[in-house]
Structure 1
Amino acid sequence: MSTLADDTLTGLLDGPRARGAFLLRSILNPPWSIRIEDRAPLSLVIPAQGDAWIVPDHGDPVQLHPGEVAIMRGPTPYTIADDPATVPQVIIYPGQRCVTIDGEDIGESRSLGVRTWGNNEGSAVMLSGTYQMQREIGQRLFGALPPVLVRPIDAGDSALVALLEGEMLKQEPGQELVLDRILDLVLVSVLRAWLASPGVGAPAWYRAQHDPVVGAALQLVHTEPAHPWTVATLAARAGVSRAALARRFTALVGEPPMNYLTSLRLALAADLLRESNATIGSVARKVGYSSSFALSTAFKRVRGMSPQEYIRQAATNPGSPIAAVS
């Protein structure tokens, strides 16, 4: 069943796609402490040299060593420091505006060249990548993450981190695209390893992908979300009765198959609605609804707003997904 699970997971891992991600190499001397209030949906921190502590607003501090990567799920603020007791000296706000605790803007004064910031010399070197946009299709995956996830970098991925640091210091044509793709590879590698590790609390929908019946149904809806699926047609393709699929799917995934399909379709629709040339009718057809009215009705019922309202809010909040009313 590994092939089915991998194929289904691919659609969710496609959600974290960097586009103009903010990347920074920070050189720091102790005592140092940086308060992060940028409301980014997802951030990565990799210590290239020296240790660090991630101090969430709620929860225990987590130590971070070279050879590890930390993923922070936003938009909740957190602090990164040389020691949990060090008082923040710098605050980073949305737009990566960097100020002292007294409000003095120091972004330019601390610049050390291409994507490098801090002190001329330091005992700690931190690589950070901040995602500016998070697609709706990845919400099921991101929602399963803890607020702070620290994972070791696999031996095979250490070259990726070295490549990321080297590319961060360059300023060549297409550099932003190169950095986005490397950052994506690091993120997906960490997420995939976390999901595959036993005892880490992987979400029910991920574990369900390894079931021969439910995994087959999940692959079908992720591969062809616009198909007019019913529980009966899914059951027939999976080789079981309608009642058996409904019972097994709900038990393993945590919701009935048609609820899961609706959530998937509406997440896909939300991403498509952000595109400038999209119409509600064209989006409806792409995700399996017969008309713009049918999509609008489902969107309003499940997400608490109409597609038109979603489009207006997306236009004013282009850097993050719009929260749905559950």
Structure 2
Amino acid sequence: MDILADELAQARARGAVFSVLGRSAPWGLEFGGTRPLTTHLLLQGGGVLELPDSPPIALRPRDVVLATAGAPYRLASEPGTPAEPIAQARARGSDAGQPDAVILCGAYVLEGSIGASLLHALPRVVVLSAAQLEPAHATAIDLLAGEASCEDPGRQALLDRLLDVNLIYALRAWWKQPGAQPPGWYRATLDPGLTRVLERVHADPAAAWSVPEMARVAGSSRAAFSARFTTVVGQSPARYLTALRMRRAEDALVRTDAPLARIASDAGYGNEYAFATAFRRHHGLPPGRWRVENTGRH
């Protein structure tokens, strides 16, 4: 099982393009910073990204920006250029004539604790220069640019799906950068033994996993496996397994009306009492109460 694909699927990660704007210099766009994760692509032309209390970041054609929630920020042709709120800019549409810049903006939805974990693994902004992109990522952006410039049927659906592709490539590219802090499970993908274990555990977290069994899958002794897993992933194998099971249980609690006994069994617990004890220890609330308080938020 592909762990990144599984994490994104469990987080219900999906993107939607909300504007493609052509602008003639001088231009500026202001964003509230309230969306959990936003992306910006300069499909044509360059500009700057301006954050409060930070030097402007130069942007060149086909650079990729990911922005997590925080203070308002701006994209502009030059530092200090007056900026138009994005809602007004969308209502006004593109400038007439041949634009100096074409800016595509999209937003991603990532749900639940898995989505929160993925967002936590990103800084306030990620900027990937066109030179850093994998060839396939650059090709995907070329396709985005092509669809953004046409009005053919299915345009929005293609833009949204290509935006999903952009997220996967952008995460992979960023987490390879020096100083990046990828999730522990992503760091583990560099270790073949740990990768085998995580693939098996993610495919069937309810199985009767034990540390000796995980060590066997990894092809290592129990002591060496536990030490390696904890160092790379950042938590012990047992804690990782519990957290994974809890995330799957959370999803079932808020998305289904399955009884607690069924959810407990699917999460790998022998009965709902053992499950409730583990869930309360993990969340501070019994699963029934947690379900009531969280249903409808996802």
Partner of 1:321: none
Deviation at 1:257, TM superposition (A): 0.9
2:79 counterpart SS class: coil
2:61 counterpart SS class: coil
Asked whether the equivalents of residues 44 and 62 of structure 2 are also in contact (C-alpha less than 8 Å), the reply is no
Deviation at 1:125, TM superposition (A): 1.0
In the alignment, structure 2 segments of 5+ residues that lack a partner are none
Asked whether the equivalents of residues 15 and 137 of structure 1 are also in contact (C-alpha less than 8 Å), the reply is yes
Deviation at 1:279, TM superposition (A): 4.4
1:194 counterpart SS class: helix
Partner of 1:131: 108
Deviation at 1:256, TM superposition (A): 0.8
User: Do structure 1's residue 119 and structure 2's residue 95 form an aligned pair?
Assistant: yes
Partner residue of 1:263 out of 243, 246, 259: 243
Asked whether the equivalents of residues 185 and 198 of structure 2 are also in contact (C-alpha less than 8 Å), the reply is no
Partner of 1:142: 119
User: Do structure 1's residue 201 and structure 2's residue 180 form an aligned pair?
Assistant: yes
Q: Between Structure 1 and Structure 2, which shows a larger proportion of helix residues?
A: 2
Asked whether the equivalents of residues 74 and 147 of structure 1 are also in contact (C-alpha less than 8 Å), the reply is yes
User: Do structure 1's residue 86 and structure 2's residue 81 form an aligned pair?
Assistant: yes
Deviation at 1:58, TM superposition (A): 5.9
Quote the Cα distance in structure 1 between the aligned partners of 2:196 and 2:63: 35
Asked whether the equivalents of residues 19 and 90 of structure 2 are also in contact (C-alpha less than 8 Å), the reply is no
TM-score, structure 1 normalization: 0.75
Deviation at 1:260, TM superposition (A): 1.2
Distance 1:30 1:274, change over 3 A: farther
1:14 counterpart SS class: helix
Asked whether the equivalents of residues 52 and 83 of structure 1 are also in contact (C-alpha less than 8 Å), the reply is yes
Partner of 2:65: 70
Asked whether the equivalents of residues 29 and 124 of structure 1 are also in contact (C-alpha less than 8 Å), the reply is yes
Deviation at 1:144, TM superposition (A): 1.8
Partner of 1:114: none
Q: How many residues align?
A: 292
Distance 1:290 1:244, change over 3 A: same
Distance 1:125 1:195, change over 3 A: same
Partner residue of 2:6 out of 2, 11, 36: 11
Structure 2 counterpart of 1:201, one-letter code: A
Partner of 1:287: 267
> 1:109-156 deviations in whole A, cap 9, x for unaligned?
x1xxxxxx3422432210111113435434444322222111134333
Quote the Cα distance in structure 2 between the aligned partners of 1:34 and 1:305: 43
Asked whether the equivalents of residues 14 and 109 of structure 2 are also in contact (C-alpha less than 8 Å), the reply is yes
Deviation at 1:160, TM superposition (A): 1.8
Distance 1:54 1:10, change over 3 A: same
Asked whether the equivalents of residues 226 and 287 of structure 1 are also in contact (C-alpha less than 8 Å), the reply is yes
Q: Quick one: percent identity of the two aligned structures?
A: 34
Partner of 2:36: 41
In the alignment, structure 1 segments of 5+ residues that lack a partner are 1-5, 93-97, 100-105, 111-116, 319-326
Partner residue of 2:277 out of 297, 311, 315: 297
User: Do structure 1's residue 220 and structure 2's residue 200 form an aligned pair?
Assistant: yes
Partner of 2:169: 189
Structure 1 counterpart of 2:104, one-letter code: L
Quote the Cα distance in structure 2 between the aligned partners of 1:191 and 1:69: 11
Structure 2 counterpart of 1:120, one-letter code: A
1:125 counterpart SS class: strand
Quote the Cα distance in structure 1 between the aligned partners of 2:220 and 2:15: 46
Structure 1 counterpart of 2:123, one-letter code: P
Asked whether the equivalents of residues 43 and 104 of structure 2 are also in contact (C-alpha less than 8 Å), the reply is yes
1:297 counterpart SS class: helix
Structure 1 counterpart of 2:153, one-letter code: E
Distance 1:207 1:240, change over 3 A: same
C-alpha RMSD of matched pairs (Å): 3.0
Deviation at 1:19, TM superposition (A): 4.5
Partner of 1:27: 22
Asked whether the equivalents of residues 46 and 60 of structure 2 are also in contact (C-alpha less than 8 Å), the reply is yes
TM-score, structure 2 normalization: 0.82
Quote the Cα distance in structure 2 between the aligned partners of 1:281 and 1:89: 54
Distance 1:299 1:74, change over 3 A: farther
Distance 1:281 1:163, change over 3 A: farther
Distance 1:249 1:187, change over 3 A: same
Quote the Cα distance in structure 1 between the aligned partners of 2:210 and 2:280: 22
